[in-house]
Amino acid sequence: MMDNYGTPSLVLERGEGAHVWDADGNRYVDLLTGLAVNALGHAHPAIVEAVSTQIAKLGHTGNLYVNEPALKLAERLLDIAGEPGKVFFCNSGAEANEAALKMARLTGRTKVVSTIGGFHGRTMGALTLTGQEPKRAPFAPLVPGVSHIPFGDVAALEAAIDDDTAAFIVEPIQGEQGVMVPPAGYLQEARRITAEHGALFILDEVQTGIGRLGTWFAFQQAGIVPDVMTLAKGIGGGLPLGATIGFGAAAELFKPGHHGTTYGGNPVCCAAGLAVLDTIASEGLLEHVSSVGKEIAAGVEALHHPAISGVRGAGLLLGITLREAVSAKAAAAAQKAGYLINPIQPDVLRLAPPLVLEESDAQAFVAALPTFFEETP
């Protein structure tokens, strides 16, 4: 394998719920869940049954034909969004954002505004939207016409967006930047400003969508509706699946021949997606996510540990902020203790556990957290 990721520290062999086992038989509580992907944890019976049944019937159709799981999933996504629109299925968050960028070009405008620190993927268009220069620099020149402004700054947004702007794209919470939460009212102001100038408001919910924050989508918490929403990660419950959803007039931008994908809308992946949505609804996982997330945040705050400065985020997307740049050492200590967490920034530990995380595992993690800093200078 190419050296994209360095040498991995673990070989994982199997999983069940929020737990995984490595090749040596050691068990871990998975608080990262494949970068917020395995929404129902590992080997969830509903996904196993849905995928097994579908692969035995029809494994792939391509984009020349429609299949029932894809059509049903599109209908369900619009239903839980509560808005009329149209869905384009793809395979990842980067692809979903590539589609959104092409939709922006179909407005007849070319100027796109994104945010510093935002992460939207690593393909060339999505990388252009990403506001992290170390990831962008080796691949310049990128797609022209994209600028980046400070995240959460309404004045900067007012100054950047004008009548020539095609779109503004933003994450409701910047996950890769360290679970950065914008000031109250920011998304509402972004919706107002883009609407005033006729620009698309593209909300990247690749990480925040499908119940991660305790509601189906982050935009529902903000009381707004974007023109375009991108999804991936949790939607497939572990299988590669992404979606770009256009609401209102944006739903009509793509016409035949404008965009496509061979694997997008794969019936097996869409069957898994339906199982994810059905299980979240039937098991009351939105309420569970909100409750357990608050319990973790309150528990970490109550530790009053000298290495920890606070907790930010929502639902089960949390960032534990540290007073020193020791996240890598703390994550290594956590792994030795049987917990997989993500040192997303030098001074931030990211938690993105499965939505089915049990309270007992959450409580045990909080209790163990102080020990992760004992070997840290």
| Tens of pLDDT, residue by residue, the chain (377 residues) | 999 999 998 999 999 999 999 999 999 999 999 999 999 999 999 999 999 999 999 999 999 999 999 999 999 999 999 999 999 999 999 999 999 999 999 999 999 999 999 999 999 999 999 999 999 999 999 999 999 999 999 999 999 999 999 999 999 999 999 999 999 999 999 999 999 999 999 999 999 999 999 999 999 999 999 999 999 999 999 999 999 999 999 999 999 999 999 999 999 999 999 999 999 999 999 999 999 999 999 999 999 999 999 999 999 999 999 999 999 999 999 999 999 999 999 999 999 999 999 999 999 999 999 999 996 44
Q: Are 338 and 26 in contact (CB under 8 A)?
A: yes
- Residue 212 annotated as binding? no
Closest CA to 231 of 47, 92, 53: 92
How far is the C-alpha of 10 from the C-alpha of 13, rounded, in Å? 10
End-to-end CA distance of the chain: 34
Q: What is the pLDDT of residue 377?
A: 45
- Residue 215 annotated as binding? no
Q: Are 180 and 163 in contact (CB under 8 A)?
A: no
DSSP type of residue 109: -
- Residue 347 annotated as binding? no
Q: Which residue has the tokens 């309404």?
A: 154
Q: Cα torsion for 206, 215, 285, 86, to the nearest 10°?
A: -60
pTM attached to this predicted model: 0.97
Amino acid letter for position 274: L
How far is the C-alpha of 193 from the C-alpha of 149, rounded, in Å? 14
- Residue 205 annotated as binding? yes
The angle that helices 68-81 and 267-282 make with each other, rounded to 10 degrees, is: 40
What are 308's strand-pairing partners? Answer: 322
- Residue 88 annotated as binding? no
Cα 344 versus chain centre, distance: 14
CATH 3.40.640.10 occupies which residues in the chain? 45-283
CATH 3.90.1150.10 occupies which residues in the chain? 12-30+284-373
Q: CATH code for 45-283?
A: 3.40.640.10
How far is the C-alpha of 260 from the C-alpha of 40, rounded, in Å? 29
- 12-30+284-373: CATH class: alpha beta
How far is the C-alpha of 233 from the C-alpha of 209, rounded, in Å? 8
Q: Which of the residues are catalytic?
A: 119, 204, 233
DSSP type of residue 6: -
Q: Are 352 and 316 in contact (CB under 8 A)?
A: yes
Q: What is the pLDDT of residue 222?
A: 97
Supply the Cα-derived Rg of the chain in whole angstroms.
Answer: 20
How far is the C-alpha of 138 from the C-alpha of 77, rounded, in Å? 37
**What are the φ/ψ torsions at residue 196 (nearest 5 degrees)?**
-60, -30
Query: How do the residues of the chain divide into helix, strand and coil, expressed in percent and rounded to 5?
Result: 40, 20, 40
Burial degree of 341 (CB within 10 A; 0-12, 13-18, 19+) = buried
DSSP type of residue 370: G
- Residue 262 annotated as binding? yes
Q: Are 356 and 293 in contact (CB under 8 A)?
A: no
Q: What is the pLDDT of residue 375?
A: 67
